[in-house]
Amino acid sequence: MKFVHFFSISVKLEAEPLEFVPSLKLETRVMTPIASLWSQRSHQLMSKNTLQTLIQQAEKLTPDEKLSLAAQLEAIALEVDPEVVLRSRRAKIQACKQEILELAAKYGADRLRIFHLSVSEGGVRDTEVNFLVNLKPGSGLLEQGGLLMDLRELLGFELYVFTEDELKERYRELILNKALPL
């Protein structure tokens, strides 16, 4: 996902909307290896090494090829069912539960809860998963930020860490009702 996000930033900074123009050079240099790796790992998560290899290949592309690749990857990402993404993320969280609890303790956080708000409920994305925590006395924004960064690195997707005090009043009751203990 970092790969798609990296390139989507480039796309969003463009003043003019992008028009997708297929490129045989791009197809041969990047999309063919991606398709090959995808078929080899169709039921597995992509390893960090595989992702790093793809990123290294993408870094060799021209700026126009990068924009074209970004458009293709963004189109692929839009086809993914949000429910599938949420199930995958919840499974990853459960698989890493012990490490998550250790990180929380390191940063003075406890009572970890997970919540999801769809876009229609006020969430930013339908695939968003967030953590709600209590910070122990003496812990503040620095610890919360450290926990946020370490959780993102561990889990491999964008997420946010909130305390109850930070919840906007209009979403507070909904979030507190939806938040599930880790």
- The answer to whether residues 154 and 89 touch, using CB atoms and an 8 Å cutoff, is no
Out of 46, 79, 112, pick the residue that ends a domain. Answer: 79
Instruction: List CB contacts of 165: < 8 A, sequence separation 6 or more.
Output: none
Number of domains in the chain: 2
- The Cα-based distances of 76 to 10, 33, 90, 114 in angstroms read 17, 16, 21, 27
69 and 123 both lie in a single domain: no
Structure tokens at 180: 């599930």
Can you tell me the distance from the alpha carbon of 15 to that of 128, in angstroms, rounded to the nearest whole number? 27
99 and 175 both lie in a single domain: yes
88 and 170 both lie in a single domain: yes
Of the candidates 53, 46, 61, 49, which has an alpha carbon nearest to the alpha carbon of residue 7? 61
Out of 61, 79, 97, pick the residue that ends a domain. Answer: 79
29 and 73 both lie in a single domain: yes
Can you give the pTM of this predicted structure? 0.61
88 and 174 both lie in a single domain: yes
Out of 23, 51, 79, pick the residue that ends a domain. Answer: 79
Range of the domain at 48: 2-79
pLDDT tens, residue order, the chain (182 aa)? 334 333 333 333 333 443 444 444 445 455 555 554 444 444 445 677 888 888 899 899 898 888 888 888 877 877 778 888 889 999 999 999 999 999 999 999 999 999 988 777 877 777 889 999 999 999 999 999 999 999 999 998 889 999 999 999 999 999 999 999 99
Cα-flanking dihedrals φ and ψ of residue 14, to 5°? -70, 140
Q: Which residue has the tokens 């109850």?
A: 164
117 and 40 both lie in a single domain: no
Radius of gyration of the chain (CA): 19
47 and 88 both lie in a single domain: no
